[in-house]
Amino acid sequence: MSDNNLLRFNKTDRLMFLDFETQNVNLHHSINLPWQAAFITIKGDNEVNRKNIYVKWPEPFEVSVEAARITKYSKTKVDKLGIDPEEAWKCISDEMSKAKFVVGHNFIGFDTYIWRSMCERLGKPCDSIVEKLVDTAMLRKGQKLEIDFDSDKYDLIDYQYKILHYKAKGVKFSLSLTGKECEIEHDYANLHDAMVDLELNIKIWNKLKWEINI
C-alpha cells in the first residue's frame, strides 16, 4: 500500500467512532440490548458530528449487577433522557450510512453483535457493516503479537478477524490498558460511559494510525 493511501493521510472520508453500553456481556438481543450509544464522527482532523444517546426500551429492562456497577448505569437518568429505540436506531443508522469506516475498540468481538441485536429486536434492516470496520483493539493486539498488517497478504477485515481468533495467553489490549500503555492522558475514572470511551478511542486511534500501516 502506498503512503498516499494510508488512512492517516485521508482527509476526505468520514470515520464514525461508535460505542454501546449494554445490559450485560451476552451477544443476543433476547438477553442483551444497549441502553446507551454514542458516536463521534471525524473527517480528517476535524470533528463533524457527535451524539450521546440514551435508549429507553418500552419493555422491562434489567441491567446485570456487574454491568450496572462497571458502567454506573442509572435507571433514573435513562428514564429522564432516554429516547425511543426506533429514533435511536435511525440516528445511528443515518450516521453510519455516511461513514466510510466505523471505528471502535473490540467492536468486531462485541459491538457489532449489539448493533445487529438492536436491528433484529426492532425489525430493522441490518446491512453488514463488516467491510467498514476498523477495530483498534485488534490493531493493538496484532501490534503486541508483532503480527504486522501487510496489505499484500491480507484484506484489512481478514487481518482483524485473524487477530480476533488468535489465541495469545496473557496478551491484554483493553481500552483502558491501551490508553495507559500509550501514555495517553484521559479521564480514566469515568470510562464505561460510551462518550468518555469514544474520546479515549479517538486518542488511541490518533496514535496507532502512525504506528500501523493501514
Instruction: Answer yes or no: is 204 within a domain.
Output: yes
Give the whole-number percent of the chain exceeding pLDDT 90.
87
Q: What are the pLDDT digits (tens) for 28-79?
A: 767 899 999 999 999 999 999 999 999 999 988 999 999 999 999 999 999 9
Is residue 214 included in any domain, yes or no? no
Residues in Cβ contact with 9 at an 8 Å cutoff, skipping those fewer than 6 apart: 3
CA 189/CA 170 separation, integer angstroms: 24
Number of domains the chain is built from:
1
Count CA within 13 A, CB hemisphere, residue 85: 17
pLDDT score of 5 = 83
Using alpha carbons only, give the angle 132, 136, 142 rounded to the nearest 5 degrees: 110
pTM beyond 0.75, yes or no: yes
Task: Give the Cα separation of 106 and 164 in Å (integer).
Answer: 9
Query: Which is higher by pLDDT, 1 or 179?
Result: 179
Domain with 31, as residue range(s), is 3-208
Name the 3-class secondary structure at 167.
coil
Domain harbouring 187, CATH code: 3.30.420.10
Residue 94 inside a domain? The answer is yes
